[in-house]
Amino acid sequence: MDQAAGSAQDAARSVPVCYRHPDRETGVRCTRCDRPICPECMISASVGFQCPECVREGSGTGHAPAASRPRTVAGGTVTADPRLLTKILIGINLAVFLVQVSVGDRFTNRFELIGQAYAPLLDGVQGVAEGQYYRLLTAMFLHGGYAHILFNMLSLWWIGGPLEAALGRARYLALYVVSGLAGSALTYLIAAPNQPSLGASGAIFGLFGATGVLMRRLNYDMRPLIALLVINLIITFTWANIAWQAHIGGLVAGVVTGYAMVHAPREKRTLVQYGTCAVVLLLSVALALVRTAQLT
């Protein structure tokens, strides 16, 4: 019994953990000091990744020069608070939800995603087909109840925080927006025109997709993420009143955009990354225009 327990403990210790974050397992090491580092600590170097301490030592002054400032896996700038944008997005969602609760259905009906339908509270036919294209964006920040926003914000914190650290703020925000809009566009295209839809799920599924691409790129164990994604997809297609179109649209956009973010060649990285975001955005606009033409 003691020998078996010791073997199990040895096996557990054989899994490397980040030297700056002992609670995070990792398969990547600093190319200079060979210490294990997690995505938050990875700084892109000419060959592989380095830890923050080696980058500071390499600069000779404690501050990296402009030409060799610390960069994330995707080429973004390493910041003091790698989860700042995720916190801001959660704050915006919570603030909008408080307005929903305070103002009532009239506010929600004005900004939720709906193709074309008569809205008694707004005294007329409303929807994206009526020229209210802002609904494709505003619906991403609305939620249908306390459980809805709680689940989405917890998912955003767990998935979004590490991904923001790995991509950098600008790339992370671009991924979030294009994934959410792709989910809204597919919902508008496929769902019944009088079916309302709201929630950050499309954007969050995009973060799921990009996280999978990143983990594959870093040779991480993807089984926990796959299990979590499968559970979410089962819920998507079995529970009532869930806009599965937003989930699938966001997931596909997240995988495509995430692949461009982490696999873009260094010499054309910015062009490939933001060019892919632009293509996904244009496809979303095209889907919306096609649906508007059908309804009008």
Q: What is the pLDDT of residues 195-224, one digit of tens each?
A: 999 999 999 999 999 999 998 888 888 788
Residue 278 has which token pair? Answer: 């632009």
* Co-location of 163 and 188 in the same domain: yes
Out of 179, 201, 263, 284, the active site residue is 201
- Its sign, for the CA torsion 56, 58, 59, 62, is positive
Put residue 219 in one of left, alpha, beta given phi > 0 → left and psi -120 to 50 → alpha.
Answer: left
> Distance between CA atoms of 202 and 234, rounded to whole angstroms?
15
Average pLDDT for 156-166: 91
Using CA atoms, how far apart are residues 75 and 39, in angstroms rounded to an integer?
12
Q: Are 191 and 238 part of one and the same domain?
A: yes
What's the token pair of residue 262? Answer: 């982490």
Domain containing 182 — which CATH number? 1.20.1540.10
Query: Do the domain assignments include residue 44?
Result: yes
Residues 147 and 252 in one domain: yes
Each residue's pLDDT tens digit, 122-143: 778 888 999 999 999 999 999 9
Domain that holds residue 13: 2-68
Per the document, the length of the chain is 296
Summary mean pLDDT of the chain? 85
Q: Both 96 and 32 in a single domain?
A: no
In sequence order, which residues have a C-beta less than 8 Å from that of residue 256 and are 6 or more positions away? 209, 276, 280
Number of compact structural domains in the chain = 2
Q: Are 246 and 187 in contact (CB under 8 A)?
A: yes
- CA 177, 49, 216, 11 dihedral sign is negative
Statement to judge: residues 118 and 177 lie in one domain: yes
* Catalytic residue check, 21: no
Q: What is the pTM of this model?
A: 0.77
**pLDDT digit string, tens, across residues 174-197:** 999 999 999 999 999 999 999 999
Top pLDDT among 224 and 92 is at 92
- My answer on whether 114 and 260 are in the same domain is yes
Selected residue with higher pLDDT from 112 and 69: 112
pLDDT digits 0-9 by tens, 29-48: 787 787 888 887 888 776 66
CB 82 within 8 A of CB 40: yes
| β-pair type (49-50, 117-119) | unpaired
DSSP helix/strand/coil, 125: strand
Same domain, 50 and 108: no
291 and 151 together in one domain: yes
**What is the rounded distance in angstroms from the CA atom of residue 231 to the CA atom of residue 203?**
17
Same domain, 152 and 263: yes
Same domain, yes or no, for 257 and 120? Answer: yes
Can you say how many angstroms the Cα of residue 166 is from the centroid of all Cα atoms in its chain? 11
* pLDDT score of 64 more than 50: no
Q: What pLDDT score does 6 carry?
A: 45
Question: CA nearest 243: which of 190, 292, 179, 290?
Answer: 190
Q: What is the dihedral angle through the alpha carbons of 131, 135, 138, 143, rounded to the nearest 10 degrees? A: 160
CA–CA distances in Å: residue 170 to residues 79, 143, 160, 273: 12, 25, 13, 11
User: Is the domain of 115 the same as that of 15?
Assistant: no
DSSP assignment letter at 25: B
| CB-CB contact of 88 with 80 (8 Å) | no
**Residue 10 backbone dihedrals phi, psi, to 5 degrees:** -65, -40
Say what the pLDDT of residue 224 is.
83
C-alpha gyration radius of the chain: 22
How many whole angstroms separate alpha carbon 182 and alpha carbon 210? 14
Final residue of a structural domain among 36, 68, 100 = 68
Active-site residue identified among 44, 179, 197, 247: 247
Write out the H or E segment, with its range, that includes residue 136. helix 135-138
Q: Write the CB contacts of 58 (distance below 8 Å, at least 6 apart in sequence).
A: 32, 50, 64, 68
